[in-house]
Amino acid sequence: MESVVRADGVVVDSTGRLVAWLGNPHRETYWRSSAKPFQALPLVTSGAAGQFQLDAADLAMAAASHSGEPRHQARVERLLKRAGLTAADLQCGVHWPKHEPTAAAMRRAGLAPTPLHHNCSGKHAGMLLTAAALGAPPEGYLDAGHPVQQAVRAAVALFTGMSAGQLATGVDGCGVPTFYLPLSRMAWAYARLYDGRGLPDAEAAAGLLVAEAMREHPGLVSGEGRLECRIADATERRVMSKAGAEGVYCAVLPERGWGVALKMDDGGTRARRSLAAAVLSLLPVLPEEARGRLAAMAVLPLENYAGRVVGEMMPVVELQWGQVKA
């Protein structure tokens, strides 16, 4: 053994009861981009989705941490045009596409990245459309006091079962507020996307609409070869998931309404695929074939620069099982 990465995690059902866990199921951390399904909810509840005639792919884009592939850029640009906006209205910043072939092609062509290439540009476009539907100015849309961020905060509080006053925040990498809360509350919120018992009808319907859009379009939510797509392929889309920065990962199993939340101690990503696949493979909701594919996916071969397999990354996961209130 050369290195060890430790994690905490939890599986919660739609009533808020802990189904299983590893480590501390109530560990508090920032939700980061795993909060995006809930940050996209006001796009629906404000009426913006209807006003601007958004389809499922558009909703998936608004909840994305995309790779900056041409399909991602084009769809974000179309979203902005529907409200008479351009990339100049995005306040997310700029970085090169995470999709290396796209970045390499741009460099060869002498092109520089724009805000459209930022992995959060879809989320920001959705927030701008929400501002338009609310009659709020686009300026300052990422400030905590802006009507858009107030609507996001209310949605997060509702689905996590917390009061808005309980939600501590920081500033995420793209400039919007990010929420600090227990893993158990994150997992419960994901479970409620597919079983919204106890939620107002409009919010429950919006949650299901966004979640189904993400499940249908994992390639827009992330990008070619990324974790969300790999999990979707391995499970035949029986799992909808969303990774976040600093080693956060959340998922929901729609057939049972179980939500999952994981957090890597080191804040890194190298072991996240292994842990996520291993935990999901242990959940009896999924068919045996899917669980087998996930278990195989959880063991990652390590190759040297000559292409020789010299080791492996292996998860060591033992879930605790029970029915404990989150």
Where helices occur in 53-146 by DSSP H, the ranges are 56-62, 70-82, 100-108, 121-134
62 pLDDT tier (thresholds 50, 70, 90): very high
What pLDDT, in 10s, does the model give residues 249-280? 999 999 999 999 999 999 999 999 999 999 99
Q: Where are the domains of the chain?
A: 7-325
Class of domain 7-325: alpha beta
What pLDDT, in 10s, does the model give residues 82-102? 999 999 999 999 999 999 999
Q: Is the pLDDT of residue 38 over 60?
A: yes
Q: Is the pLDDT of residue 324 over 80?
A: no
What's this model's pTM, rounded to 2 decimal places?
Answer: 0.96
Q: Is the pLDDT of residue 326 over 90?
A: no
Question: Which of 253, 263, 249, 277 lies closest to 191 in space, CA to CA?
Answer: 253
Is residue 167 within 8 Å of residue 177, measured between CB atoms? no
What pLDDT, in 10s, does the model give residues 198-249? 999 999 999 999 999 999 999 999 999 999 999 999 999 999 999 999 999 9
Cβ-count burial 287-312 (b if 16+ within 10 Å, e if not): eeebbebbbebbebeeeeeeeeeeee
Token representation of residue 132: 């338009």
- Three-state DSSP at 251 gives strand
Hey, what long-range contacts does 53-57 have (CB within 8 A, 24 or more apart)?
A: 53/82, 54/79, 54/82, 54/129, 56/212, 56/213, 56/216, 56/217, 57/213, 57/217, 57/220
CA–CA gap between residue 19 and residue 325 (Å, rounded): 9
CA–CA gap between residue 155 and residue 40 (Å, rounded): 9
323 pLDDT tier (thresholds 50, 70, 90): confident
The residue whose two tokens read 């291993």 is 278
What pLDDT, in 10s, does the model give residues 290-317? 999 999 999 999 999 999 999 999 999 9
Instruction: Taking residues 93-120, report their average pLDDT.
Output: 98
DSSP conformation class of 112: P
CA–CA gap between residue 307 and residue 319 (Å, rounded): 34
Q: Is the pLDDT of residue 58 over 60?
A: yes
The residue whose two tokens read 């997060």 is 156
